[in-house]
Structure 1
């Protein structure tokens, strides 16, 4: 614990206004006691933030912590360790655990397990009992009222997209009443056989069974119609196609209560990475890597505000699981440790987003989507902050991985921008190595 701390010489960033000011931050008993230039506090540990920026703590609203049930892949402790390295003081975890997050007891378990970590963990509970949304018939709505009461911030069946339109309508009606978003994995499973990479020239060349972009776009279109009918808040998870972004843009223009996120890997890699890597399973994710045209459209959708939040879909798998042939390996890659370096490389350095805009999509936007309070760098507030820069060039190496798993295609990549430290819940975590 580091209840008292003096951060010296940092540039404070307000992501809502873009305003910056150079000042020291004095923390007492985990709260911001004073913000001013040239502070001194006898006996208080000092963190030298010279040449670095400070912002409200970042949040990743789409991660997989795997606990309970899949602790060989990740635990709440190791996932939070990865989050802290990546600059995140908060994460929202998906319900594909065993048992799934479909009862208040599992929500309570996750919240209790996360109490000692420096990262706030917000459970996303199931839409259906048993996370059975992929079933066209027989899926039953979970007890959303009780789950919300226990602390669930949203509802999703995640990798089991809600196939039944009737069930999704019920979920959105409940979401409107509870003011909690429904987060759907946008894939119409009836649009084609279960595939392993994006449908297109690369999948045909490699002879790999594809996932059509149409399956994502059809589900987005259906859910937007149901959103309009019910008024329930809808959040589009890990959007990956140009047409999907266009659909969300149109829905927002019509005033629908819809928000959307994009993963850092979907604005970095294309389906050509599968071929270039020799079909490395670390390039296999769900939704899959799309085309260069899709990547360009996603960047434009980030720039114009169609895509509200940046996330990672951090999905750890044990090494022996990812060592299988491409079509047999599970979907998913790590994301927490590389999120900011990829954001700097692919979005800030090329001028797609300013530093303030990128930080907004990692701080304010995810919390507002999930109806959570946004931390502020202000005297009297609980200290919840990230120390970072957007210019340091560094090579991501395996030693930087804090996750229990190792499944990432980015080892050896040059990153731009580092998350140097977080402070939250009276704890300082530094990443100087």
Structure 2
């Protein structure tokens, strides 16, 4: 007994064509893709002409468990992922305790098996406790199943320690995933350093705090042969540094968030910094930076979209702007936002956007995902491109409500998500 998906259109990720094809799922795998499948012995779902896509991958999320369950849990975070069309997410290690030991990595896998609605691939910390002082047992973390190593949330400030980490990671074929921030330059900043921060009298974080760290780590990656992956790129100079590194054949990849593609620091100016739901790190920057990120996505400098899904409690985000925590939620709204703002406006063909959510992250992190061919794991999402819906807190599966996009009307909502042959989300 299997599951047949009927009356859907399969998006060809090479040509952009939408093909009327049916899919048979048996167990965890795709058993058949054809114009017509005999469904006599199978359960069927009518897709009402909606678009069938590979399941999305988000290589940068914060599931908050263990330690910050008031913000999010593996259960709620993966439910949000499934609603957003994601079948695989990679979770960051800045939990409490930090994911810096094989035992804690195994905990994430065990908790996901019990309560998860998608595949969760944990990162391990580069340094113990993310304190930047002593390397973790990187080989032990790999054996436990980490997808890469990172001290996301803080940058590794010691160049010699990062060089040692990269040497080890290169020998183990593990990506080094960096939160690019020179703390001496960033200091106690709470938004982008520039005209708006000066007008509001708030301490700023210069783009140089990001680009200087990226420049250092590109040189270290060249020296060690490590695969360097740059998180949530936001600065024009940073994009150019990655572009140059790639032109020289270095193993450097990067991601960008929807908010850095769509917003500028003007959203903070408009609220006079009264709404900490506009506060994120790296900060929303200038129009020049936004356009550089968009161009990087269009020309392939930026490999993928990642949400940096970072839920916080309402009480935390009600604090004054300068003391409230950084972060936006994004798993449930990332694809609709970018479909509406990039595809519908003609900036990017649909199939190219979908690659940034599927094929590209799978290739960068060497995952057997992102394809809807026979024999592959049945990870897919079905998207309604036509129905407009407004982003509201009541519908979100995540515990967080901290997003600057609340109240925005968008198209491109997932209506069915299947992870390893199991229906994990079915909506309207």
Same fold? TM cut 0.5: yes
Specify the alignment match of 2:121 in structure 1: 122
Distance 2:58 2:271 in 1: 27
Q: Give 5+ residue unaligned stretches, structure 2.
A: none
- Say whether 1:170 aligns with 2:164: yes
Specify the alignment match of 2:378 in structure 1: 383
Distance 2:110 2:13 in 1: 30
User: Which sits farther off after the overlay, 91-100 or 169-178?
Assistant: 169-178
- Say whether 1:152 aligns with 2:151: no
**Aligned-residue offset at 1:20:** 4.0
User: Which sits farther off after the overlay, 397-406 or 288-297?
Assistant: 397-406
Distance 1:19 1:126 in 2: 42
Q: 2:353 aligns with which of 354, 358, 365?
A: 358
- Please give the TM-score of this superposition, normalised by the length of structure 2: 0.96
Specify the alignment match of 1:200 in structure 2: 194
**Aligned-residue offset at 1:98:** 0.9
Aligned pair in 2 of structure 1 residues 306, 390: CA closer, same or farther (>3 Å)? farther
User: Which sits farther off after the overlay, 110-119 or 389-398?
Assistant: 389-398
Q: Is the 8 A contact 2:233 2:256 kept in 1?
A: yes
Specify the alignment match of 2:398 in structure 1: 403
Root mean square deviation of aligned Cα: 1.5
Q: Is the 8 A contact 1:355 1:390 kept in 2?
A: no
Specify the alignment match of 1:62 in structure 2: 60
Q: 1:243 aligns with which of 229, 233, 237?
A: 237
| C-alpha distance after superposition, 1:354-398 (max 9, x if no partner) | 111111111121122222212431223321111114444321111
| C-alpha distance after superposition, 1:107-138 (max 9, x if no partner) | 000011111423000001100011113xxxxx
User: Which sits farther off after the overlay, 343-352 or 178-187?
Assistant: 343-352
| C-alpha distance after superposition, 1:234-287 (max 9, x if no partner) | 001000011110110011001110000000111111101012134210110000
- Please give the TM-score of this superposition, normalised by the length of structure 1: 0.95
Specify the alignment match of 1:132 in structure 2: 131
Look up the SS of the partner of 2:412 in the other structure. Answer: strand
Q: Is the 8 A contact 2:80 2:332 kept in 1?
A: yes
Q: Is the 8 A contact 2:80 2:397 kept in 1?
A: yes
| C-alpha distance after superposition, 1:203-252 (max 9, x if no partner) | 11111111111111101111111111111000010000111101100110
Distance 1:129 1:53 in 2: 44
Distance 2:92 2:32 in 1: 37
Distance 1:197 1:431 in 2: 38
| C-alpha distance after superposition, 1:278-301 (max 9, x if no partner) | 421011000000011111111110
Distance 1:282 1:187 in 2: 21
Q: Is the 8 A contact 1:236 1:259 kept in 2?
A: yes
Look up the SS of the partner of 1:83 in the other structure. Answer: helix
Specify the alignment match of 2:48 in structure 1: 50
Aligned pair in 2 of structure 1 residues 57, 215: CA closer, same or farther (>3 Å)? same
Specify the alignment match of 1:321 in structure 2: 316
What aligned pairs does 1:419-430 form with structure 2 within 5 A after superposition? 419-430=414-425
Q: Is the 8 A contact 1:16 1:364 kept in 2?
A: no
What aligned pairs does 1:4-43 form with structure 2 within 5 A after superposition? 4-15=2-13, 18=16, 20-42=18-40
Specify the alignment match of 1:220 in structure 2: 214
Q: Is the 8 A contact 2:167 2:224 kept in 1?
A: yes
Distance 2:345 2:172 in 1: 40
Specify the alignment match of 1:136 in structure 2: none
Look up the SS of the partner of 1:215 in the other structure. Answer: helix
Specify the alignment match of 2:340 in structure 1: 345
**Aligned-residue offset at 1:321:** 1.0
Distance 1:379 1:251 in 2: 36
Q: Is the 8 A contact 1:4 1:30 kept in 2?
A: no
Distance 1:268 1:375 in 2: 25
Specify the alignment match of 1:288 in structure 2: 283
Q: 1:372 aligns with which of 367, 371, 376?
A: 367
User: Which sits farther off after the overlay, 28-37 or 98-107?
Assistant: 28-37
User: Which sits farther off after the overlay, 236-245 or 339-348?
Assistant: 339-348
Q: 1:332 aligns with which of 327, 330, 333?
A: 327
Q: Is the 8 A contact 1:340 1:418 kept in 2?
A: yes
User: Which sits farther off after the overlay, 152-161 or 357-366?
Assistant: 357-366
| C-alpha distance after superposition, 1:298-343 (max 9, x if no partner) | 1110000000010100001111111111111000010101101111
Aligned length: 426
